[in-house]
């Protein structure tokens, strides 16, 4: 790629991953963000690989690219990503998604294996991501490429406030709703619980994408339990742990895996997913004074799509 300068705005998983890919392509990169990686929405995620909560024809290719990168980096050493075998199940009689049946160890569940209330399910092995650890890994990988994150005093109000030259890469997630006045962005509230691991080495998640969700994801000495996906129209309301929601999450998970009923609670996380009703936005925008490549609106699928979307941003930049 011809040497170029870019400014990546945002230091969540999309911003960091995109910056890594650009720096690896020998692009001169600066990252600016209103929040350091450990304070972003990404740090609050569960998280598991899988094209959930987003309706976009491009997600299969993007998620496949991310899966390949996860396979590569887990072979290198500690990065916060582990491949774990587990079950996904549905209370409705649905067909397993194509991306799941394409996995090498996919296996349809026998009816005797299904938890009460579930009518279909399947086993497979997917990456589970310990987000605080993974974000530190990405930050370290970026620093090894000579790129650091500059923390802003406040969120940008417009792109004109970016003084550095170069193409802008907009990875601001839900922040894009105010930054570029995108009315298609909606906040979806998520909440999860973190407990001590009582010896669980498999994951479970239902196939629901709104309302009450049920999943547990083991990460070594702790397990992440979830969750919910509900609209959150008023961003001025402080995001606090709801104890009733927390108790319900634990009860749903313990109904699947009884050992979770007595697990000590370490804490909880509450965040807002950046759901975009018209689909993920990864495209070049020349409508203003600066050329911008957008990469936001991933809903609950930001980690899953991260490396694929980053590769597309690199390709879009090369085509300018």
CATH number of 41's domain: 3.50.50.60
> 4, exposed or middle or buried, with CB in 10 Å at 0-12, 13-18, 19+?
middle
Alpha helix ranges (H) inside 38-165: 59-74, 98-101, 131-144
**Helix (H/G/I), strand (E/B), else coil: 227:** strand
Whether 77 has a binding-site annotation, put simply, is no
Query: Is residue 4's pLDDT more than 90?
Result: no
Query: Is residue 2's pLDDT more than 90?
Result: no
Distances in Å between the alpha carbon of 254 and those of 32, 87, 106, 195, 262? 42, 15, 25, 12, 9
Contact 275, 210 (CB under 8 A): no
Angstrom distance (rounded) from CA 194 to CA 246: 10
Query: Is residue 305's pLDDT more than 70?
Result: yes
Whether 48 has a binding-site annotation, put simply, is no
Whether 74 has a binding-site annotation, put simply, is no
Angstrom distance (rounded) from CA 109 to CA 118: 11
pTM beyond cutoff 0.75 = yes
User: What are the beta bridge partners of residue 72?
Assistant: none
Angstrom distance (rounded) from CA 300 to CA 229: 9
What are the structure tokens assigned to 96, written together?
Answer: 């397993």
E strand map for 62-202: 81-90, 107-108, 120-129, 149-151, 167-170, 185-196
At 301 the pLDDT is: 92
What does the pLDDT look like over 246-289, one tens digit per residue?
A: 999 999 999 999 999 999 999 999 999 999 999 999 999 999 89
Domain count, the chain: 1
At 235 the pLDDT is: 64
Span 131-153, mean pLDDT?
97
Whether 215 has a binding-site annotation, put simply, is yes
Query: Is residue 1's pLDDT more than 70?
Result: no
Owning domain of residue 47: 5-318
At 57 the pLDDT is: 83
Q: What is the pLDDT confidence band of residue 232, given thresholds at 50, 70 and 90?
A: confident
% of the chain surpassing 90 pLDDT:
89
What does the pLDDT look like over 71-100, one tens digit per residue?
A: 999 998 889 999 999 999 999 999 999 999
Query: Is residue 219's pLDDT more than 80?
Result: yes
At 194 the pLDDT is: 98
At 54 the pLDDT is: 74
**DSSP labels for 202-223?**
-EEEES--SEEEEEEEEETTEE
Distances in Å between the alpha carbon of 307 and those of 130, 199, 285? 16, 31, 21
């Amino acid at each position: 790629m011809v040497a170029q300068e870019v400014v990546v705005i945002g230091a969540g998983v999309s911003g960091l991953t995109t910056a890594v890919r650009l720096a690896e392509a020998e692009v001169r990169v600066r990252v600016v963000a209103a929040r350091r990686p450990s304070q972003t929405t990404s740090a609050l995620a569960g998280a598991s690989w899988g094209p959930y909560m987003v309706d976009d024809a491009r997600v299969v290719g993007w998620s496949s690219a991310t899966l390949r990168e996860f396979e590569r980096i887990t072979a290198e050493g500690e990065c916060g990503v582990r491949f774990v075998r587990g079950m996904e199940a549905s209370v409705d009689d649905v067909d397993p998604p194509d991306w799941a049946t394409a996995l090498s160890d996919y296996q349809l569940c026998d009816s005797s294996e299904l938890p009460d209330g579930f009518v279909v399910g399947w086993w497979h092995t997917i990456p589970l991501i310990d987000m605080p650890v993974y974000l530190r890994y990405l930050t370290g990988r970026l620093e090894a490429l000579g790129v650091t994150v500059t923390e802003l005093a406040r969120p940008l109000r417009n792109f004109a406030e970016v003084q550095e030259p170069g193409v802008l890469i907009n990875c601001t997630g839900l922040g894009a709703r105010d930054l570029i006045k995108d009315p298609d962005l909606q906040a979806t509230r998520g909440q999860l619980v973190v407990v001590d691991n009582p010896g669980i080495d498999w994951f479970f998640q239902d196939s629901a994408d709104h309302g009450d969700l049920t999943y547990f994801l083991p990460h070594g000495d702790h397990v992440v339990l979830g969750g919910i996906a509900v609209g959150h129209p008023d961003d001025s309301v402080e995001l606090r742990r709801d104890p009733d929601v927390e108790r319900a999450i634990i009860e749903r998970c313990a109904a699947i895996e009884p050992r979770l009923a007595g697990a000590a609670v370490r804490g909880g996380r509450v965040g807002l997913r950046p759901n975009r009703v018209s689909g993920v936005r990864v495209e070049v925008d020349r409508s203003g004074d600066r050329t911008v490549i957008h990469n936001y609106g991933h809903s609950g699928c930001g980690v899953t799509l991260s490396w694929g979307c980053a590769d597309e941003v690199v390709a879009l930049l090369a085509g300018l």
